[in-house]
Amino acid sequence: MHGRLRMTAVAAALTVAAAGALTAPSAAAASESVSAQYHTGSTGSDQAEPWLKLTNKGSDTVQLSGLTVRYYFKADSAAAQYRFACSWAVKGCANITGTFGTLAKPTATADRYLEIGFTSGAGSLAPGANTGDMQLRFHRADWQSLNQQDDYSFGAAQTSYADWSKVTVQRGGTLLWGTAPEGNDPGDPGGPGDPGGPGGPDPTKPALFDDLNYTAHNDPRIAQRGWTVKSGQGGPGVPGATWAPEQVTFAQESGNSIMTLRTSTDGTAAGTRQTELYHQRKFTKGTYASRVYFSDTPNSGPDGDHMVQTFFTITPLDAPMDPDYGELDFEYLPNGGWGEPANILYATSWETYNPEPWQAVNTHTEVRQSYAGWHDLVITVDNTSIKYYVDGQLFGTHNEPYLPETAMSINLNNWIISGGLVASSTPRAYDEKVDYVYYAKDQILTPDQVKAQVAKYRTDGVTHTDNVS
């Protein structure tokens, strides 16, 4: 959230909410048997209407959270963009998410897919049960006509529900139902040139690890290692607030050096002091990770200020709708904000935006619950997708057009939304804590591989390394 207005970005986004289900352990998929039923709600050219049901064919209860369904289609042009909507669903449209992806190996009938996911609110399926109707649809962003006849998953004659193998159901990388277009099974590896591999960190490739083992905000090693502790004024946050380096502190906790970003306020702009640490711009594809502590309440004083506690990457916006802009966010709002009444965690991927008049091209995943406490946050970026993980579980997957094109900085900040101050002059302060920051260039690591590598650094006595250029 470095250096730009964020006030209504999520509410005003032009794109759809991405698949935001928390993924169950992949071992669970081995005992699951799920089938998909389809019929077309429309054969017209204004929008596609894939109506779907999922049925539990097995003997164990199936949690819908973590399941994804892919409907494959041929884009009407290389530049065409699409928008998802849910017209009606037995499980509730609020519990169904949709995002669009690009196939690594395009075929004559498919180069894109619509991926449907479920939030925890969708519940589960008992043996033999089904989801009931999911009346879904998508259309071109410019509302031009679309051609369904050349779409892999489309069935013009499917006017009532029946098993349909041309949509796939998967949990993580495990295929549970259906046949994808040739070479594009959800569990297949990415196309040539995708960074990373299944074997864990490659010691020959560049990486950054920082245990944040510093003495104070003005420790000269911070700047020597490419970090900046933000100072002065400017966005994001309360207009007129100050970025306060002295409120970025370091202390030992449980044997590790912990950085605290303390943001305080007395209810006025002049009395609001926000905090941020950011690294230089040199990061692109690969794996980003940090262990972060979010707080729901202030250390003392009245609660309720609209806080934003973050871990993110960003390329600055040089002009409205700058095509080189990019941003990948974890943002926790413990007291709501941006139209939300209470706790919410966002993962948001940005293509670009226009600050005035507001126009945002982004996609997001959100979960509405408390995330107070320590959490392992991981973001991976390859040639086809951005994946967000929380505590080892997949939180969201975002695809084109949101993949970053240029080098980004790594950032952590703690700030208050403009207009989000509680009307009280009693001083209060909110802490966000950070254990470490890690980046593996051109390597796609699992959360467990990240944990193992961080543990190895610490066992080997490495508090800082950086050979990323």
Is the same domain home to 335 and 224? yes
Is the same domain home to 144 and 241? no
Which residues on neighbouring strands pair with residue 345, listed in sequence order?
332, 367
Is position 32 within any domain? yes
Is position 344 within any domain? yes
Rounded Cα distance between 254 and 244, Å, is 26
| The pLDDT value given to residue 187 | 52
**In this predicted model, which residue has the larger pLDDT, 269 or 193?**
269
Is the same domain home to 204 and 333? yes
**What band does 30 get if pLDDT is binned at 50, 70 and 90?**
low
What is the per-residue pLDDT across 170-207, written as a single tens digit (0 to 9) for each? 987 789 999 999 988 765 433 333 444 445 688 889 99
Rounded Cα distance between 305 and 267, Å, is 9
Q: CA quadruple 327, 406, 228, 251: dihedral positive or negative?
A: positive
How confident is the model over 265-273, as a mean pLDDT? 98
How confident is the prediction for the chain on average, in pLDDT? 89
How confident is the model over 30-45, as a mean pLDDT? 89
Is position 304 within any domain? yes
Is the same domain home to 427 and 284? yes
Q: Given 148, 177, 206, which residue is the final one in a domain? A: 177
Is the same domain home to 325 and 257? yes
Rounded Cα distance between 126 and 60, Å, is 7
Structure tokens at 315: 């390329």
Query: Judging by DSSP bridges, how do beta strands 67-73 and 464-466 pair with one another?
Result: unpaired
Is the same domain home to 212 and 345? yes
Assign 3-state DSSP to the chain and report helix, strand, coil percentages, each to 5.
10, 45, 50
Q: Given 177, 205, 222, which residue is the final one in a domain? A: 177
Is the same domain home to 73 and 168? yes
CATH assignment at residue 220: 2.60.120.200
What is the per-residue pLDDT across 206-264, written as a single tens digit (0 to 9) for each? 999 999 999 999 999 999 999 999 999 999 999 999 999 999 999 999 999 999 999 99
Is the same domain home to 158 and 238? no
How confident is the model over 101-119, as a mean pLDDT? 89
User: Helix, strand or coil for residue 375?
Assistant: strand
Is position 106 within any domain? yes
> DSSP label at 14?
S
CB atoms near residue 299 (< 10 Å): 12
Strand runs (DSSP E) across 21-81, as ranges? Answer: 34-40, 50-56, 62-63, 67-73
Rounded Cα distance between 379 and 375, Å, is 13
| Tally of domains within the chain | 2
| The pLDDT value given to residue 173 | 72
Closest by CA position to 305, among listed 419, 433, 434: 419
Rounded Cα distance between 347 and 389, Å, is 9
| The pLDDT value given to residue 97 | 84
Q: CA quadruple 228, 234, 237, 240: dihedral positive or negative?
A: positive
Most confident of 169-173, 356-360, 365-369: 365-369
CA-angle at 439, arms to 438 and 444, nearest 5°: 120
Is the same domain home to 142 and 248? no
The boundaries of the domain holding residue 415 are 195-466
| The pLDDT value given to residue 285 | 94
Residue 156, class by beta-carbon neighbours within 10 Å (0-12 exposed, 13-18 middle, 19+ buried)?
exposed
Contact 263, 247 (CB under 8 A): yes
**Residues of the chain with pLDDT > 90: what percent?**
71
For the chain, how long is the longest CA-to-CA vector?
Answer: 70
Is position 186 within any domain? no
Could you give phi then psi for residue 215, rounded to 5 degrees?
-90, -35
Total length of the chain = 469
Is the same domain home to 119 and 213? no
Structure tokens at 130: 């089904």
First CA to last CA distance, the chain: 23
What is the per-residue pLDDT across 151-167, written as a single tens digit (0 to 9) for each? 999 999 999 999 999 99
CATH assignment at residue 79: 2.60.40.710
How confident is the model over 327-345, as a mean pLDDT? 96
Is position 35 within any domain? yes
What's the pTM? Answer: 0.66
Could you give phi then psi for residue 203, rounded to 5 degrees?
-65, -15
Q: CA quadruple 148, 149, 154, 155: dihedral positive or negative?
A: positive
**Residues of the chain with pLDDT > 70: what percent?**
90
Is the same domain home to 245 and 339? yes
CA-angle at 265, arms to 262 and 267, nearest 5°: 160
Which residues on neighbouring strands pair with residue 162, listed in sequence order?
38
Is position 19 within any domain? no
Is the same domain home to 392 and 433? yes
Query: Judging by DSSP bridges, how do beta strands 242-243 and 273-279 pair with one another?
Result: parallel
Residue recorded with tokens 């802490």: 431
Rounded Cα distance between 55 and 67, Å, is 12
Structure tokens at 113: 């897919």
Which residues on neighbouring strands pair with residue 386, listed in sequence order?
381, 398
How confident is the model over 355-376, as a mean pLDDT? 92
Residue 289 has pLDDT above 90, yes or no: yes
How confident is the model over 419-432, as a mean pLDDT? 97
CA distances to 254, 270, 302, 313, 422 from 418, rounded to whole Å, are: 35, 13, 18, 21, 11
How confident is the model over 337-346, as a mean pLDDT? 94
Residue 71 has pLDDT above 90, yes or no: yes
Is position 190 within any domain? no
Contact 329, 388 (CB under 8 A): no
Q: Given 117, 148, 177, which residue is the final one in a domain? A: 177
Residue recorded with tokens 């992949």: 26
**In this predicted model, which residue has the larger pLDDT, 72 or 13?**
72
